[in-house]
Amino acid sequence: MEIVMSIVAGILFMAATYLMLSRSLLRIIIGTGLLSHGAHLLLLTMGGLKRGAAPLLGEKASSYTDALPQALILTAIVISFGVTSFLLVLAYRAYQELGTDDMDKLRGNENHE
Amino acid sequence: MNNLVILPLIIPLITGIILMFLKDHVRLQKTVSVISFLITIGLSAALVQTVYKKGIQMHELGDWPAPFGIVLVADLFSSLLVFTASIVSFCCVLFAFRSIGKEREKFFFYAFVQFLVTGVIGAFLTGDIFNLFVFFEVMLMSSYVLIVLGGTKIQLRESIKYILVNIISSALFVIAVGYLYSVTGTLNMADLSVRISEVNQPGILTVIAILFLIVFGLKGAIFPLYFWLPGSYEAPPASVTALFGALLTKVGVYSIFRTFTLLFYHDQSFTHTIIGYMALLTIIIGAVGAIAYWDIKKILIYNIIIAVGVILYGVTLATPEGLTGAIYYLLHDMVIKGALFLLAGAMIVITGTSKIKEMGGLIKRHPLLGWMFFLAVIALAGIPPLSGFVGKLLLLQSGLETENYTFVAVLLISSLLVLYSVMKIFINCFWREPRLSAEQEKGSTKGLLYPPFMLLILSIFMGVGAEWIYPYVAEAAQTLSDPSIYIHSVLKE
């Protein structure tokens, strides 16, 4: 199962890299979304996908899944959620002010502010 | 168990929260900021003294023992950095009082500075690798806001690039932590160190080490990963650039020091050689940029990159003297980069431009600013009575002892080029015929010169009073070069 998950995470990283190298800002932001999905799936996979009960003591199971990676992922998810919403609003604002979402046209030099 | 360790971290956090409620009361915001910084500086000084007297201090959050809970660890290296960081950020905020403007002040500027300081101090003090990631994010998110606050076109454009680079490096950080967890099964740094030395760092751990080097290299702007820095640091106002230049890249450098002296030190012939070459190329690239530009901000920004390279090479010297030199240079560089960016900010306030060729003759009406800039310049280059000298001397000495002659040559030549690049600013902006008459000047330096003056006094003290500071730094280097001291005091075996 870990093999399958690793391949899936790899495909997500591949798609994210491809999207982040494109010119449109919105595609880049979609790429960052896929990148964080890939990272979170990888974190879950690397914690081990052995079978066990959900980490709730009420389950009274003989073995549980590892609770630590789930806590890490939850933290990473809210952080990337905050950053993504900030980036989306920034992209909106930049579109209003600069009038373009083309990263090549955003490349400015000192002469025009 | 010691509450002193957590106080320098929690005071900026609480202050930031309080400042959020004082949106329209700018005077009150300033007062609260000053009081909180004075308390933080006092507490971190007490922390340095306590650690020096009694050894490594630590705080187990929630009373959970070391590998299971999160620990905050203050060894002398991190507490010295906390102390310096709080002083430098205090001076940057004092500079912002006069220069940042009502518009930004009303939109939570001081609150975000406090959160930035929280992130930086937290990153210095934490003893847990995932917690380090979280504090990185606290620091980065405040820096995103500070870089774009004001919303001018150049800020919008550069902040998009800055945020993108940092999102990618944060994702890489999460991935690296995931790999490290799957190999070792722990996140506590001391416990990680024990487990890595038990298996003697096989190939997979070296791969993870290089992944961490890439992550922290992206934060700290070392050679092939520095490309985002020159544009991003040019966009925000001077006090924010000073804050960034003095603190943000240094957190990346600190993390490289921590990971490669505490965790991944078993395969030095591979990892440390790579770090060495990256550091040398960083110095060269920085020097090329510093002499190429005729723009004050750009020159100083490339000087940050040079200093990062110089400090980073200290990791590979792996002798206590080399580490002492690198730590001394790190502390000096935080202070002097803060001072230089603030002085450059004052020059830009006067002339309204950052282009060297449009300035001239500033010393006629601003002699104090001129001579302070001159002092900062020779301190940066490492002229003997000032602070840059001691660090570079120790680095040179251990470079010669370990026969790294390339490094010695690069360091000496780069000092010359640093001196040339900043002297170019001094000669062209302060000497020559005055360009602007008293009426044409865009602003006054009223109140702007105290903060860099304080930093310069500190820098002179670090040079002249090296005998007082040296024992602290040497002790810090001792702890870094012997990981068992750190491990024993955290895990209490």
- The answer to whether B107 faces chain A, any CB pair under 8 Å, is no
Question: Is A43 in Cβ contact with B154 (below 8 Å)?
Answer: no
- CA-based Rg of chain A, rounded to a whole angstrom? 19
Is B207 in CB contact (< 8 Å) with chain A? no
How far apart are the C-alpha atoms of B35 and B314, rounded to whole Å?
36
Q: What is the DSSP letter of B188?
A: B
SS3 per-residue string spanning A58-112: HHCCCCECCHHHHHHHHHHHHHHHHHHHHHHHHHHHHHHHHCCCEHHHHCCCCCC
Quick: pLDDT tens for B430-454: 888 887 776 677 777 778 889 999 9
Q: What 8-state DSSP symbol labels residue B447?
A: T
Interface of A with B (CB under 8 A): 20, 25, 28, 32, 35-36, 38-40, 42-43, 45-48, 68-69, 72, 75-76, 79-80, 82-83, 86-87, 90-91, 93-94, 97-98, 106, 108, 110, 113
Chain B hits for A106, Cβ within 8 Å: 157, 160
- Would the pLDDT of B134 be above 60? yes
Radius of gyration of chain B (CA): 21
- Tell me, yes or no, if the pTM score tops 0.80: yes
Alpha carbon distance B424, A50 (integer Å): 64
Q: Indicate yes or no: CB of B170 within 8 angstroms of CB of A83.
A: yes
- Contacts of range A100-106, beta carbons closer than 8 Å, 24 or more positions apart: A101/A24, A101/A25, A101/A26, A102/A23, A102/A24, A102/A25, A103/A23, A103/A24, A103/A25, A103/A28, A104/A23, A106/A25, A106/B157, A106/B160
The rounded Cα B120 to chain-centroid distance in angstroms is 9
Q: Is B72 left (phi over 0), alpha (psi -120 to 50) or beta?
A: beta
Q: Which residues pair with B355 in a beta bridge?
A: B295
Residue B119, pLDDT above cutoff 90: yes
- CB contact residues (below 8 A), chain B span 132-161, against chain A: 133-134, 137, 141, 144-145, 148, 151-154, 156-157, 159-160
Asked casually if ipTM beats, i.e. exceeds, 0.90, the reply is yes
Q: Which chain B residues are within 8 Å of A19, Cβ to Cβ?
A: none
Distance from C-alpha of B395 to C-alpha of B407, rounded to nearest angstrom: 9
Asked if B157 and A86 come within 8 Å (Cβ–Cβ), the reply is: no
Residue B97 has pLDDT above 60, yes or no: yes
Chain B interface, best mutation among A12, A85, A106, by max B CB count within 10 A:
A106
A102 has which bridge partners? A24
pLDDT digits (tens, 9 = 90+) for B269-286: 899 999 999 999 999 999
Question: Does any CB of chain A come closer than 8 Å to the CB of residue B164?
Answer: yes
Q: How does pLDDT run across B46-90, given as a tens digit for each residue?
A: 999 999 999 899 899 988 888 899 999 999 999 999 999 999 999
> Is residue B51 within 8 Å of B59, Cβ to Cβ?
no
For B182, which residue in chain A has the nearest alpha carbon? A46
Q: In the numeric block, which tokens belong to residue B289?
A: 């940029």
CB contact under 8 A, A87 and B168: no
Residue A113 is predicted with a pLDDT of: 42
> How high is the pLDDT of residue B493?
62
d(CA A31, CA A15): 7
